[in-house]
Amino acid sequence: MDPGREDEVPLAATSPESRRTRSNGRGKATVGDAPPPAETVVSTKAAPLPTGGWKKGIAILDFILRLGAIGAAMGASILMGTNEQILPFFTQFLQFHAQWDDFPVFKLFVVLNALAGGFLILSLPLSIVCIVRPLAVGPRFLLLITDLVNMATVIAAASAAAAIVYVAHNGSQDANWIAICQQFTDFCQGTSEAVVVSFVAAVFLVCLIVVSTLALKRT
Amino acid sequence: MDPGREDEVPLAATSPESRRTRSNGRGKATVGDAPPPAETVVSTKAAPLPTGGWKKGIAILDFILRLGAIGAAMGASILMGTNEQILPFFTQFLQFHAQWDDFPVFKLFVVLNALAGGFLILSLPLSIVCIVRPLAVGPRFLLLITDLVNMATVIAAASAAAAIVYVAHNGSQDANWIAICQQFTDFCQGTSEAVVVSFVAAVFLVCLIVVSTLALKRT
């Protein structure tokens, strides 16, 4: 849109010589015989290296945060997916075996967290591209959109599971729902841990989005 | 960071005369006696109006989406907060009066949606600032961060309520939780509608974030 800025990314990769030539072409200083003004124009625009370095730091931070988010999302999925408890004694319930896939919400939790973790792993190459080319806009924008979707997914899964864990812990007198955690203590602790880890993944994703926005932002 | 672009926002508000003076100051063309190159430099950079117009359109879209999000979040809060049902007959339950504040999750839902709606109303003046000054970065970034927090809040509230509504509709055989919706049909329909409206607010907020990112993005 702004013709004065559309060649910013190529500028970072070209040599000072070609840069001066391009500036001359834009400023039309080669038509006459006044090179000094054109050279001073170049000197006021020729400092993309500090910006690139700052953006590269942001890209590396993005990569590290992404690894953390992958670990947390996958960890939450595995924690929940391996969660079961068999009671050694007979209770007032008919069954004495609690497993994560008894509850559809926990199934959804495992699937959504695994999906988010998978998409985050798939986004790692893009993140590396952003480290190599810190000023590229396209990959960064794609990362931001996928992170946004992943964040919504992880928060939705974690909140839904948290609501069920709350009912399992406290029950609901008005609805006659029993607090099953009074029997299945280990099972409930496992689900609570998985929910907490999933919220950690969500925090990582929020940080990722803020970092991506900072990288995209006009200064 | 890039000294050649930091005066872009003031440029959009100043007249062509002052713009030329500033460019002369940067290019140091006033030291010598070669005004023509400085003037041609101005002519290649002096088209911020199309960008400004495009950004202004985005800012107006932001304002409209924001009104939609306010309506949806407030609507969800009110729908849930006025939801109760008194059964005309005696059932197997001890109580025959279902109200939204019997369930802590629904209380949280009302509070979080009202909070998000309130913050969205508070952000309206900032959105108007962005319409008036489409190239300003600070207000836009602030809007993006608050929208991100609002989106996380609304999605968390809606998902948690959705999980409880699911259990209320289908019950859970393994946990001996009864499907209370078989008795309280109107109450359950009210909560379901509130959850759907809350998810609509979340969709509006996702659109708002994407729009803000587009407005912030380097082209």
Over the stretch A108-135, which tens digit does the pLDDT of each residue have?
A: 999 999 999 999 999 999 999 999 988 8
Least confident of A53-57, B76-80, B137-141: A53-57
- B39 and B110 in a single domain? The answer is no
Minimal CA separation from A121 to chain B, in Å: 22
What residue spans of B103-137 are helical by DSSP H? 104-122, 124-132
- B36 and B53 in a single domain? The answer is no
* Residue of A27, A36, A145 lying closest to B32 (CB–CB): A36
- A200 and A100 in a single domain? The answer is yes
Q: From start to end of chain B, where are the E strands?
A: 84-86, 97-99
Q: State the Cα–Cα distance between residues B14 and A146, nearest whole angstrom.
A: 39
Q: What is the DSSP letter of A217?
A: B
- A102 and A146 in a single domain? The answer is yes
- B25 and B79 in a single domain? The answer is no
* Residue A3 forms part of a structural domain: no
- Residue A196, SS3? helix
Question: CB contact, 8 Å: A6 with chain B?
Answer: yes
Minimal CA separation from A165 to chain B, in Å: 10
Confidence at residue B4, expressed as pLDDT on a 0 to 100 scale: 41
Taking alpha carbons only, the member of B112, B122, B125, B212 closest to residue B152 is B112
- B29 and B76 in a single domain? The answer is no
CB contacts of A175 in chain B (<8 Å) are 102-103, 168, 177-178, 180
pLDDT tens across B181-212, in order? 888 888 899 999 999 999 999 999 999 999 99
- Is residue A166's pLDDT more than 50? yes
Give the H/E segment covering residue B193: helix B185-216
Tokens read off for A215: 């990288």
Q: State the Cα–Cα distance between residues B34 and B144, nearest whole angstrom.
A: 45
Write the CB contacts of B115 (distance below 8 Å, at least 6 apart in sequence).
B153
**Backbone phi, psi, residue B10, to 5°:** -60, -35
Question: CB contact, 8 Å: A38 with chain B?
Answer: yes
* Residue A112 forms part of a structural domain: yes
Domain hosting B98: range is: 49-216
% pLDDT > 90, chain A: 46
Question: Strand pairing partners for A99?
Answer: A84
pLDDT tens across A30-86, in order? 444 444 444 444 444 444 445 567 888 899 999 999 999 999 999 999 999 998 887
Confidence at residue B173, expressed as pLDDT on a 0 to 100 scale: 80
* Residue A2 forms part of a structural domain: no
Q: State the Cα–Cα distance between residues A51 and A219, nearest whole angstrom.
A: 9
CB contact residues (below 8 A), chain A span 170-209, against chain B: 170, 172, 174-178, 180, 202, 206, 209
Interchain CB distance below 8 Å, A159 and B164: no
pLDDT tens across B163-188, in order? 999 999 998 887 788 888 888 888 89
How many structural domains are present in chain B? 2
Confidence at residue A22, expressed as pLDDT on a 0 to 100 scale: 42
Q: Looking at this predicted complex, what is its ipTM?
A: 0.73
pLDDT tens across B117-134, in order? 999 999 999 999 999 988
- B189 and B138 in a single domain? The answer is yes
- A68 and A88 in a single domain? The answer is yes
- Is residue A99's pLDDT more than 90? no
Residue whose structure tokens are 């699937």? A111
Confidence at residue B219, expressed as pLDDT on a 0 to 100 scale: 63
Confidence at residue B97, expressed as pLDDT on a 0 to 100 scale: 77
Strand B97-99 relative to strand A84-86: parallel, antiparallel, unpaired? unpaired
- A75 and A125 in a single domain? The answer is yes
Interchain CB distance below 8 Å, B180 and A175: yes
- Is residue B93's pLDDT more than 70? no
| Beta-carbon count within 10 A of B164 CB | 25
**Backbone phi, psi, residue A178, to 5°:** -85, 150
Q: What is the DSSP letter of B17?
A: H
- Is residue B43's pLDDT more than 50? no
CB contact residues (below 8 A), chain B span 72-91, against chain A: none
Q: State the Cα–Cα distance between residues B105 and B123, nearest whole angstrom.
A: 27
- Is residue B90's pLDDT more than 80? no
Give the H/E segment covering residue A99: strand A97-99
Dihedral sign of CA atoms B87, B92, B93, B95 in order:
positive
Count of residues in chain B? 219
∠ CA B188-B189-B195 to the nearest 5 degrees?
90
- A105 and A58 in a single domain? The answer is yes
Interchain CB distance below 8 Å, A40 and B54: no
- A57 and A142 in a single domain? The answer is yes
Tokens read off for A133: 């080319």
Q: State the Cα–Cα distance between residues A91 and B116, nearest whole angstrom.
A: 44
* Residue A110 forms part of a structural domain: yes
- A73 and A41 in a single domain? The answer is no
Single pTM value for the model:
0.74
Interchain CB distance below 8 Å, A174 and B44: no
Taking alpha carbons only, the member of A216, A137, A3, A6 closest to residue B50 is A3
Minimal CA separation from A170 to chain B, in Å: 10
Confidence at residue B34, expressed as pLDDT on a 0 to 100 scale: 41
Confidence at residue A92, expressed as pLDDT on a 0 to 100 scale: 55
State how far the alpha carbon of A132 is from the alpha carbons of A94, A100, B98, in Å: 59, 42, 59
Interchain CB distance below 8 Å, B178 and A174: no
% pLDDT > 90, chain B: 46
Q: State the Cα–Cα distance between residues A10 and A18, nearest whole angstrom.
A: 11
Count how many pairs of residues, chain A against chain B, have C-beta atoms within 8 Å.
189
Give the H/E segment covering residue A131: helix A124-132
% pLDDT > 70, chain B: 71
Q: Which residue has the higher pLDDT, A66 or A10?
A: A66
Question: What mean pLDDT is predicted for residues B3-18?
Answer: 42
Largest CA distance in chain B: 98
Q: What share of chain B is helix, strand, coil (3-state, %, to 5)?
A: 75, 5, 20
- Residue A172, SS3? strand
Angle between helix B35-45 and helix B16-27 axes, rounded to 10 deg = 120
Interchain CB distance below 8 Å, A95 and B48: no
Question: What mean pLDDT is predicted for residues B94-109?
Answer: 81
* Residue B212 forms part of a structural domain: yes
